[in-house]
Amino acid sequence: MNILLIHQYYLEKHDSGGSRWNEMVKVWAENGHRITVLAGMTHYSTGKKHHLFKGKYVYEEEEHKNVRVIRSHVSEKYNTGFAGRLRGYISFVFSSVYAGIFRAKEKYDLIVVSSPPLFVGIAGYFLSRLKRIPYVFEVRDLWPESAIDTGIVKNKLVIKLAFAAEKFIYKKAKLINVLTPAFKESIIAKKNIPAEKIIYIPNAADFNLSEKLLHSFQAQSFRKELGWEDKFVVCYVGAHGVANHLIQVLQTASILKDSNVLFVLIGDGMQKNMLKEKMYNMQLKNVQFIDPVPKEEIFKYILAADVGTSVLMKNDTFKTVYSNKTFDYLSCKKPVLMAIEGVSKKLIEEAQAGLYVEPENPEHFAKQVKAYLNNPQLLSQHGENGYAFVHKYFDREKLAAEYITELEKFIKKKTTVASVQKQKIKNIA
């Protein structure tokens, strides 16, 4: 197949962050499919633009064999608050449509659009009409609900327009992929989308990265380099934004400040500077911030830690999500302290691969850390359980193959229907 992918947050080579589509595209390309990616020029968590893109509206590169990446303009006001972020979203809609028309000139079988942001669906719709091919819309976050529940979006007019855009995009998409079972239930019940229009290909574990290190990486030596030798390390990897509400990690660290527990937060985001200031004000010596590192390096930190944690603020929308990094922790045989309700909690309990932490409850968080600290056997068993579970149900390569099979089935069905209709018209004539 020849696929046009629109994904504003598609990572640059060796960049940090969620790499679902970078890994998915790599698997597809290795199996002979061709992919052109329309991506943004700014990183989703930092809002920063690589020096190669400065002064350019479009930048093109060959990433791998069969993979071409076309990056287009995103406003550098992206990380200056909601107004700046909205400007970043809208600027990418226009620039990606431009790039799709004038740079992505091949004949494609279909367009795959991955959100958030929701607005990329508008670009997908316009390009699908211009190129006369269907588009598949992927829901990685229930937006605008998540933005409303976190207080990021408050303007009633913006909310009304966002819901109208969502309704339009869902209606025009020929197929919708969701990343959690809860997304599927919500879209069917609340958005009135027929079940047969929805497929489910979730986030997954990248065993190609983790298994290489599991057999060769000297974790103890790395711990010594980092000064972690005598510490029980709780590792968080991901965005430092409003939704993550990482202040609860600092509050938990304060409760455990007289223990040997060290909380390590790796990543970047709008609230990182605020969190570092809070750490200094709270005089916490058991919290360490580390700047974003490439995906292959992230696994070294996870393997050197004792346990991973997935954290979000407490609200109903986040009961529907799987945290990306949960799968990375589990693929490294690390149990998870899951401070997210709903399907994420259910995932960890079903896999017996971690302990649930009530979100925004530092006392409970501290209690669950101590449960692992005082029971190394449980820690080890949960790590092994999680690894086996994600290997069976959330292997990236298997799910990438399943995804492409679903797309091929859809194209075949569409071609068959078109052929039947053409034959009917011919018979009538």
**Between 41 and 50, where is the model more confident?**
41
Amino acid letter, 283 = Q
What is the model's pLDDT at position 158?
A: 85
In the chain the domains, ranked by start, together with CATH numbers, are 2-202 (3.40.50.2000), 207-393 (3.40.50.2000)
pLDDT higher than 90, residue 103 = yes
- Dist CA 100 CA 7 (whole Å): 12
Cα→Cα distances 199→174, 193, 324, 404, Å:
11, 12, 19, 12
pLDDT higher than 90, residue 393 = yes
DSSP 95-127: HHHHHHHHT--S--SEEEEEESSTTHHHHHHHH
Percent of the chain with pLDDT over 70: 94
Residue 145 — pLDDT band, cuts 50, 70, 90? Answer: confident
CA-angle at 96, arms to 90 and 99, nearest 5°: 150
DSSP class of 285: S
β-strands 58-64, 67-72 pairing? antiparallel
Angle between helices 376-393 and 324-331 (to 10 degrees): 110
**326-339 mean pLDDT:** 97
The neighbour count for residue 372, using CB atoms within 10 Å, is 21
The neighbour count for residue 228, using CB atoms within 10 Å, is 21
Q: What is the tens place of the pLDDT at every residue in 20-35?
A: 899 999 999 999 999 9
- Dist CA 369 CA 363 (whole Å): 10
Q: What is the tens place of the pLDDT at every residue in 413-426?
A: 877 655 555 555 55
Burial class (CB in 10 A: 0-12, 13-18, 19+), 240: buried
Cα→Cα distances 184→129, 187, 332, Å:
26, 5, 29
**4-31 mean pLDDT:** 87
As a whole number, the mean pLDDT across the chain is 91
What is the model's pLDDT at position 266?
A: 96
Cα→Cα distances 48→13, 18, 42, 69, Å:
15, 16, 5, 18
- Comparing 104-108, 283-287, 384-388, 411-415, the range with the smallest average pLDDT is 411-415
**Top-confidence range, 103-112, 145-154, 211-220:** 103-112
What is the model's pLDDT at position 213?
A: 87
At residue 306, the 3 state secondary structure works out as: coil
What's the gap between Cα 313 and its chain centre? 17
Which residue bears the tokens 């430092």?
240
- Comparing 62-66, 69-73, 132-136, 206-210, the range with the smallest average pLDDT is 206-210
In sequence order, the 6+-apart residues with CB closer than 8 A to the CB of 89 are 8, 117, 119
Contact 239, 269 (CB under 8 A): yes
**Between 289 and 209, where is the model more confident?**
289
Residue 78 — pLDDT band, cuts 50, 70, 90? Answer: low
Structure tokens at 171: 């209606």
**282-295 mean pLDDT:** 94
What is the model's pLDDT at position 426?
A: 58
What is the model's pLDDT at position 215?
A: 83
At residue 314, the 3 state secondary structure works out as: coil
Consecutive H or E run containing 309: strand 307-311
Q: What is the tens place of the pLDDT at every residue in 270-281?
A: 899 999 999 999
Residue 318 — pLDDT band, cuts 50, 70, 90? Answer: very high
pLDDT higher than 60, residue 345 = yes
Q: What is the tens place of the pLDDT at every residue in 181-198?
A: 999 999 999 888 999 999
